[in-house]
Amino acid sequence: MKRILVTGANGQLGSELNLLSKKHSEYEWIFADRTKITLDDLDLLETQLKEIQPNIIFNCGAYTAVDKAESEKELAFRINCLAVKIIARYAVNNNINLIHISTDYVFDGNTSIALSEDAETNPINVYGASKRAGEIACLEENPNSIIIRTSWVYSKFGNNFVKTMQKLMQEKEEISVVNDQIGSPTYAVDLANVLIDILESKKWIPGIFNYSNEGEISWYEFALLIKELGMYKCNVKPIPTSAYQTQAKRPKFSLLSKERIKAIYNINIPDYKESLKKCLNS
C-alpha cells in the first residue's frame, strides 16, 4: 500500500484532503502538522521524512501570511524555499512522486490575459518571492516534481476570504471590497480532488500546472456573490486597491490559464459559482 504524506495538514487544502482520504483507503495517509513535519526546522526535516518513509508527498504546507511576510522574510524563505529544497531532494533520492503547491502571487499582475505556466514571473511581495524561489528550488533539485499554482483558495476550514465576508456581512451594515484585483477563486475541495485525479491517472507529467475554478472576477464581484447566496443584507461597496492599504502589494491581475492541466490530465474544472454554492451548503 502506497503511503501519502500530506504536509500542512491543518491548512485548508490539507484539511480537505483529510476528509477526502476517507474515500481513498487504497492509500495509507499520513497527515503531518507542524509537530510531525517542521518546515521551519531544516535540520530536523530530513530526519522526519526518513521516519515517515512516504511513497508520495503532497507538499501543502507553506508560510502564507502575506502581509506578515514583509517583516518575516527569513522565515518565509526558510519554509517556502529551503524546506521545499530539502523535500524535493529527498523525493528524488528516494524515487518519490512529489506534488508541490504554489501560488498566483509569483506574478506581478501587469497583464490582462490569462497567465500560462510559461508566463514571466515577477513577484511584487516577499511571500510571492519566497514561493517563486521554492518553485525554482523544487524543479532544480527534482525535475520530476509536479508544481500546481493556484489562487484565492477558500474552504470551510482555516482563514479565507469567504469566511471573512460571511462574518463581516453578519456583523456590519456596510463593507468595502477592492474591485480592481482580478483573478479566480479556488475551492480547496476541487483542488484536493485534482491531486487525487493526477495520482489515479497513472500518468506522471512533471512541471508546472495552473489550477483554479473557471471564471474571471474581482474580489468585489466575489463578495457580491457571497452576499447573494448567503442572503445577507449588508451593503457591499467597491473601492480601488489604493484605498485599501496593506503591507504587501497584491498583483492586480492573476487569472490563471488552465488549458495545460485540462489537456494533459483531462480535468473538468467547475465554475466558481457552482463551487461557492457547494462550499456554502457544506
Give the residue carrying C-alpha cell 485548508.
12
Instruction: Verify whether residue 187 is a known catalytic residue.
Output: no
Task: Look at residue 67 and give its three-state secondary structure.
Answer: coil
Q: What are the distances in angstroms from CA 260 to CA 27, 177, 207? A: 27, 32, 11
Q: Are 126 and 120 in contact (CB under 8 A)?
A: no
Q: Are 133 and 127 in contact (CB under 8 A)?
A: no
Length of the chain: 282
User: Active site residue: 63, 105, 127, 232, which one?
Assistant: 127
Q: Are 219 and 177 in contact (CB under 8 A)?
A: yes
Give the residue carrying C-alpha cell 480592481.
180
Question: For 128, what's the count of Cα atoms within 13 Å in the CB-facing half-sphere?
Answer: 17
Give me the active site residues, please.
127
